[in-house]
Amino acid sequence: CGFEPIFLGYSRCVLKPKTTEEVAKILAFCNNNRIAVCPQGGNTGLVGGSVPVFDEIVLCTSQMNTIYSINDTSGVLVCQAGCILENLDKALEEHGLMMPLDLGAKGSCHIGGNLSTNAGGLRLLRYGNLHGTVLGLEAVKADGEIIDLLSTLKKDNTGFHLKHLFIGSEGALGVVTKVAIQCPAKPKATNLAFLGLESFSHILKVLKKAKGDLGEILASCEMIDQSTLDVCTCNLKLKSPLAEFPFYMLIETHGSSDAHDQEKLNLFLEDVMLSKLILDGIVTNEPSKMKNIWDLRERITEGFVRDGYVFKYDISLPIEHFYSLVPVMRERLAGTEGIVRVSGYGHLGDGNVHFQVSCKQFSNEILHQIEPFVYEYTSKLRGSISAEHGIGFRKPKYIHYSKSPESIVIMKELKKMFDPNGILNPYKVLPM
Ligand SMILES: O=C(O)CC[C@@H](O)C(=O)O
Ligand SMILES: [Zn+2]
């Protein structure tokens, strides 16, 4: 999982059920025999949630890949949990639809894993997170009981909204087996701007202006700092269409009329150029050019790996502080041997920064200079210590930096209720 050696897993048994009933039988057996289970989708997570760290049985959803229905009119897709995100997108394309979420791992991540981790990704700014787009789901509790919450309705206020308990609980309360999700129309027009900027204060101004001027067509707003872009250009040898600048922004628009969208985008770009908010920029709607630009963003994770060891932090902060941790940490780590780069990039439009410190190899000394400082810093600003990657195996002992003692107690009570024997993803998500 991910690229961090601490997540090397071990398991003697991988089970690949095809149906919900098979999942139910496996869990009932494991529950009765007190056998720990690690639910696993595409195993693309970054916090070790899908890794069997203590010889758990792996319950892998890769054989559960049936699409049951796609409704052209309502836009509702119903499928099994093991469908690969990119395959769903391709299937929807024939119906003029697309998945509401998109992430770098789309070629291997499973929709069930996406739900279980409440995956965010690159177009959350426009289409919202899975708590909004998932209409219903089916899940199996630790004791094998099947919970049918597979509504396809947009509106349903009959009682408690139980589906939300399974979205983002990282397989600790149950295994998601089926999904009903609201899919938007595939945009007829997509345009992508790649901008070079001089400072983070300019980025904030451009973000505000993009929200105001592009309004309903704004779909993504990502930022990358220069040292992060270097992992793509130097480590992966990707080509950037712009010269070097301290910061970059990717702004994608989705709309129904190319002429209308381009007019808006061009006016916006003219303004930000004239007012010197940006230093340079290009805009394109050519699929191959858009792909090359998106590669500079989507392949960052892969690029960082080539530095050696990467300390990764996935943080939500109030927007004015989005980048503030980077200079603070650069100062804190100045002169420390073995550091390759201290960088920040990520989902600017959602206030979610991916803060990374890469070094030639893992070092305890560097780790202790970063942690718990990074969590304390985030907590003081009332940010989240895990904005989209979850808690997994990596962060249970830090959850208190983002959650109050009272809410941790409620989470533990819920866990006891859903999984009294603690067989589902033990030692993950919740602190001991
Ligand atoms: O590698 C990471 O830390 C971030 C991965 C992913 O969330 C992204 O936004 O590219
Ligand atoms: Zn991300």
Task: From first to last of the 432 residues of the chain, give the pLDDT tens digit.
Answer: 334 445 788 999 999 999 999 999 999 999 999 999 999 999 999 999 999 998 899 999 999 999 999 999 999 999 999 999 999 999 999 999 999 999 999 999 999 999 999 999 999 999 999 999 999 999 999 999 999 999 999 999 999 999 999 999 999 999 999 999 999 999 999 999 999 999 999 999 999 999 999 999 999 999 999 999 999 999 999 999 999 999 999 999 999 999 999 999 999 999 999 999 999 999 999 999 999 999 999 999 999 999 999 999 999 999 999 999 999 999 999 999 999 999 999 999 999 999 999 999 999 999 999 999 999 999 999 999 999 999 999 999 999 999 999 999 999 999 999 999 999 999 999 998
pLDDT of residue 4: 46
Atom number, ligand 1, closest to the C-alpha of residue 312: 3
Q: How many angstroms separate the CA atoms of 283 and 272, rounded?
A: 13
> Which residues are CB-neighbours of 399 under 8 A, at least 6 positions away?
385, 391, 408, 429, 430, 431
Residues with CB under 6 A from ligand 1: 46, 104, 300-301, 312, 314, 346, 354, 388
pLDDT of residue 6: 56
Tokens of 428: 């993950």
Q: What is the DSSP letter of 367?
A: H
Please report, as a single letter, which amino acid is at residue 244.
Answer: E
CA 28 to ligand 2 center in whole angstroms: 35
Sheet containing strand 218-225, strands side by side: 280-284, 189-197, 247-255, 218-225, 339-347, 352-359, 309-316
Alpha-carbon distances of 376 from 72, 327, 373, 382, 383, rounded to whole Å: 48, 16, 5, 10, 10
Mutation test residue for ligand 1: of 102, 103, 358, the one with most atoms within 8 Å of CB: 103
pTM (2 decimals)? 0.95
CA 330 to ligand 1 center in whole angstroms: 20
Q: Are 175 and 140 in contact (CB under 8 A)?
A: yes
Atom number, ligand 1, closest to the C-alpha of residue 122: 9
Tokens of 7: 């997540």
pLDDT of residue 430: 97
> Which residues are CB-neighbours of 400 under 8 A, at least 6 positions away?
408, 431
Helices (H), 79-148: 85-93, 111-117, 124-127, 130-133
24 CB neighbour count, 10 Å cutoff: 19
Atom number, ligand 1, closest to the C-alpha of residue 301: 1
